[in-house]
Structure 1
Amino acid sequence: MSRNPVAAAAGKFPEDVVRFDDVSMRYGRGPDVLTNLNFGLAPGSFHFVTGPSGAGKSSLLKLIYLAAQPSKGLVHLFGQDVAHAPASAKPQLRRRIGVVFQDLVLLDHLSTFDNAALPLRIAGRKPADYRNDVAELLTWVGLGQRMHAMPATLAGGERQRLAIARAVVNRPDILLADEPTGNVDHDMAVRIFRLFVELNRLGTTVLIATHDQDLIARSGRPVLLLENGRISPKPAQGPLA
């Protein structure tokens, strides 16, 4: 797995923020959906994960954000073996990870603004300190005129953009996105990708699960290919014109 080029040039190889060691996962007594995965994500890296439906992309993300446990092997986050981490440490680990869920998981009793600001509230920040930042971010994703709307009144694409805003608002150390451009048009997909790129430039490690081969090809970013529960890295290609 490629390392951070700046660190490599300095002769330093930072510990992966995500590391899978011989990880397999199954649901109940069913067959493995992920089999013997060995890979790492270096700090500040940007990858796509792709593969056919049912290949295990969402399951892979669940293991990283601690919504599921492996049936075999070890998952490390920020250098910590998750299986042996105390229960009190896991909420802190999750707070360092922003997630765009495929089913969005918005809170229907909170406004658009309050949904987007939720990670900052949980972190203990005061509304006066983040009000302008949240408003600017919502404007960036095209929801500047919908900040006081409730999720039930938003269209599918608007809900998708709100979920993305909530995931990135606190500049997480890791951003996981499960089909983040599935319900938006091409122009908004490009705009969202630019947001992810800017977050990555600020140091966030980004992993996007998607079927959007055009977005992957144009990005020029490396790809992790999931097939039959196994993963194989593909080298980055130059972005298309």
Structure 2
Amino acid sequence: MRYGRGPEVLSDVSLSLPRGSFHFITGPSGAGKSSLLKLIYLAARPSSGSIRLFGEDVGAAPASILPRMRRRIGVVFQDLLLLDHLSAFDNTALPLRIAGHKPSEYRGDVAELLAWVGLKSRMHALPPTLAGGEKQRLAIARAVVGRPEILLADEPTGNVDHEMALRIYRLFVELNRLGTTVIIATHDQDLVARSARPVLHLDKGRLRPLPPQGPVE
């Protein structure tokens, strides 16, 4: 993968992640972690090679089905992309509204999820009034509320304390136990070491698998 005519940011990357797996992606800044997530989320296309997602060759798939495929993926972006004019509750519920669910169907689930990430008392607040860590937790709640088939998270614990980082990780683990494939790009080596999950290590745009580390959570 390259941006425009620039150098390749990812080179000779080949991987196959089974349905229901849980992987970390690590590597220094600029190694290509965010670019790899963009390819998986279909926000960018590879300069060469191919991507198969949900059993389909993305390169050969018509553009009309890509939005439907993206709705099967939950994403926690590094820049969060919250909607400032919507409350925390409505930001979280947005994927369910887009999918056609009625408020009566999801009101309780959204409130429970916001309580789980520590935002019970802030569910009616607008994003500009939230602290950095609160915004991070809100973005995570929005990404997981629809129980996506794939969850991609780019530095999801970057703005929270250690206790909340573990709580967020346990939420991802529970989602994974329900069948979601989880891929987390992170610099949090303590979290990686605690998890005993497979690690995909990027170095200068190339992928090097590492064995699981540390005790099981």
- 1:173 and 2:146 are equivalent in the alignment: no
User: Any runs of at least 4 consecutive aligned residues in structure 1 with deviations exceeding 2 A, and if so which?
Assistant: none
Offset at 1:232?
Answer: 1.2
TM-score for both structures, normalised by structure 2: 0.98
CA distance in 2, matches of 1:236, 1:215: 12
The structure whose residues are more often strand, as a share, is 1
- Name 1:147's counterpart in structure 2: 123
Instruction: State how 1:1-241 maps to structure 2 within 5 Å.
Output: 25-239=1-215
Offset at 1:238?
Answer: 3.7
Structure 2 unaligned blocks of 5 or more = none
Structure 1 unaligned blocks of 5 or more = 1-24
**Count, aligned residues:** 217
**Structure 1 vs Structure 2: percent identity of aligned residues?**
76
Change (3 A) 1:137 1:240: closer
Residue-by-residue CA offset, 1:188-230 (whole Å, 9 max, x unaligned): 0000000000000000000000000000000010100000111
3-state SS in 2 of match to 1:73: coil
CA distance in 2, matches of 1:123, 1:96: 10
3-state SS in 2 of match to 1:103: coil
Letter in 1 for 2:127: P
Q: Root-mean-square deviation (CA), in Å?
A: 0.9
- Check conservation: 2:198, 2:210, Cα contact below 8 A: yes
Letter in 2 for 1:112: A
CA distance in 2, matches of 1:209, 1:237: 16
3-state SS in 2 of match to 1:225: strand
Letter in 1 for 2:204: N
CA distance in 1, matches of 2:93, 2:121: 16
CA distance in 2, matches of 1:238, 1:56: 25
Residue-by-residue CA offset, 1:111-143 (whole Å, 9 max, x unaligned): 000000000000000000000000000000000
CA distance in 1, matches of 2:66, 2:55: 13
- Check conservation: 2:192, 2:213, Cα contact below 8 A: no
Offset at 1:240?
Answer: 7.1
3-state SS in 2 of match to 1:33: coil
CA distance in 2, matches of 1:186, 1:237: 19
